[in-house]
Structure 1
Amino acid sequence: MAVLVATPRSRALGFGLRAARKARNLSLRQLGRVIGVAAQEISHWEAGTRVPKVEQVGLLLGALRVEPAEWKRLLALAENAREPNWVEPAKVPELAAFIEYERTTSTVINWEPLLVPGIFQTTDYTRALFAAEGLKPEEVEERVAIRVRRRGLLRGSDPLNYVVFIGEGALRGGVGGSRIMVAQLAHLVAVSLWSNVSLRVLPVALGCHPGLFGPFAILDFWNLPSIVHLEGYRGSAYLYDDREVADYRAAVRRMRGLALAEPESRAFIQGVIAELEA
């Protein structure tokens, strides 16, 4: 009997397989008839809870006429799908995979010491951030569009629950200049009032705490194991090992005990806005 896995790679593989199937307007049953596999088994593959054999992935990708670059990417995921952790480059297909993780979560717990979390970024802030990296205008706009799609997860009939701890350095980072930062901080104050968002600030004066070692997000799911996402300058990592996830939960507990309460956090951000407008 197939073993349930749901590792970061197996879920990313599933996202890609589902997108390829939907691009051909095929149901699970229709695709199953084409490749000779039960629809329920393909459903498990797309959920990432079972891993198909590499030759099965090749057969499926051939039936769906997947482009060579995406074919290569998905086969690589299939070959290593049972590995518990995953390091990936910061390329658009992988960023799209993160959006799918985020879309299927029940709750995200995010710590950002130096930048405003992507899902809360204004368009001007995002554009200034990536333009400063020297990206081509079309690449900048592609990343802006990704941020806009992510923001949609926070609204609607079933919004994402988002718990964010943000460092004082992110509030004073100066991305894009004072005008852009004032608008960005005002947006943070506004979203912090939403019932599905909890936003708390960790001032520099607190001294040492686990968050000083870098940003991270814990992604919790309704019916699958949690994943920790570590975002770096030119890539990301996903941690799936139970002990590592537990360590990051312990870090959150310490930071929750140190962070300003939500009303105090809003007042702190409004104080930074007043300083920028002075």
Structure 2
Amino acid sequence: MAPRTSPSERQRRLGAELRKLRLGVCMSSDAAAQLLEGERSRISYIESGRLGVSRNRLHALLRAYECPPGPYFDELMSMGQASGRGWWDDFNDTIGPAARDLAELESRSTVLRTHSPLVIPGMLQTEEYAHAVLAATESDPGRSDRYTAFRLARQRVLTDVPSVTYRAVIHESALHTRVGGPEVMRRQLVRLMEVSRLPNVTVQVYPFEAGVYSAHTRSFVIFGGPAAQLDTVYLEHPTNSLFLRDGNQLHEYAKMFETLSELALAPVDPDSPPESHESRDSLSLVQHVMYTL
């Protein structure tokens, strides 16, 4: 099988984890290649994500690398056997590799933590709000419609997979930015309150009076699963989105999110009785902004 020219993020991540494990036991590429009865270049291709590895051979490598049984071992095995195919294949005519990687990563995660300073997070957007956001950067109406449909399809993970926990910290600026006009924004804020009724969704607003925090201007998503070692930070960029997987970076972004959550107002809870809102919380702020539109 010829090496891949464009491995997916999952394939790159599996390769990076195998390389880390190999180096952790001080095993050379030549020694690892002997386990697979192959050439040294085979290990190099596997570790760069350019070549797959069978279930039995992956199991043999993990055992040789002294990877202990448990969630991490199981997730690496799962990553190695995944096909990479899913509902996102229906959008291959429009989306690029980074968007496919994002959708696949979302489908494999059990915890999503996101911070959004300027716009409502994509997972919580209405169709007309999403279309207005995407139309601002895409001049072709047909492609803008497809991007919008793709974004809405991604939202199904919140309702179709109830085991997924979603936490969002949204800066107050995003509530005031009139994307698509007042009526579009009003319906978007109603949607924000509606989706907060889902038992697996927590929405908090970071208010202006909380002041400046070093991370409050950064948009990021942290994808988590059964094995914390495989968590991933996603940084969206117009030309080159980034997937961060270094342990120190993951730790720093996790700390930033928790600090943002601590500084933000109490979560939106549309079902709570009026008397419980004596102090300012996220719901009262969302309602206040909505009534002033």
Indicate whether the TM-score tops 0.5.
Answer: yes
Distance 1:123 1:109 in 2: 22
Taking a change above 3 Å as real, the CA distance of residues 258 and 157 of structure 1, as seen in their structure-2 partners, is closer
Residue identity matched to 2:262: G
Taking a change above 3 Å as real, the CA distance of residues 246 and 40 of structure 1, as seen in their structure-2 partners, is same
Residue identity matched to 1:261: A
State the match for 2:238 in structure 1: 233
Taking a change above 3 Å as real, the CA distance of residues 170 and 181 of structure 1, as seen in their structure-2 partners, is same
Which of residues 130, 133, 138 in structure 2 aligns to 1:126? Answer: 130
Q: State whether structure 2 residue 96 is matched by structure 1 residue 97.
A: no
Higher Cα radius of gyration: 2
Distance 2:165 2:200 in 1: 5
- Cα distance per residue 1:212-249 (max 9 Å; x no partner): 34111111012351111111233311111111111111
Higher relative contact order (CA 8 A, sep 6+): 1
Runs of 4+ in structure 1 over 3 Å off: 12-15, 37-50
Tell me if the contact between 1:13 and 1:48 (Cα under 8 Å) persists in the aligned partners.
Answer: no
Q: State whether structure 2 residue 291 is matched by structure 1 residue 274.
A: yes
- Identity, in percent, stands at 27
Deviation at 1:45, TM superposition (A): 8.8
State the match for 2:173 in structure 1: 169
Q: State whether structure 2 residue 137 is matched by structure 1 residue 142.
A: no
Give 1:39-78 correspondences, 5 Å limit: 40-41=56-57, 47-48=78-79
Taking a change above 3 Å as real, the CA distance of residues 271 and 154 of structure 1, as seen in their structure-2 partners, is same
Q: Matched residue pairs, number? A: 212
Q: State whether structure 2 residue 243 is matched by structure 1 residue 244.
A: no
Tell me if the contact between 1:210 and 1:254 (Cα under 8 Å) persists in the aligned partners.
Answer: no
Distance 1:93 1:125 in 2: 24
Please report the RMSD computed on the Cα atoms of aligned residues, expressed in angstroms. 3.0
- Unpaired runs of 5+ residues, structure 1, are 1-7, 16-36, 51-69, 71-89
Give the TM-score, by structure 1 length. 0.68
Residue identity matched to 1:254: T
More strand by share: 1
State the match for 1:11 in structure 2: 10
Residue identity matched to 2:239: R
Give 1:189-204 correspondences, 5 Å limit: 189-204=193-208
- Cα distance per residue 1:130-189 (max 9 Å; x no partner): 112243112101211111111110113534210000001111111100111111110001
Tell me if the contact between 2:219 and 2:236 (Cα under 8 Å) persists in the aligned partners.
Answer: yes
Distance 2:243 2:117 in 1: 19
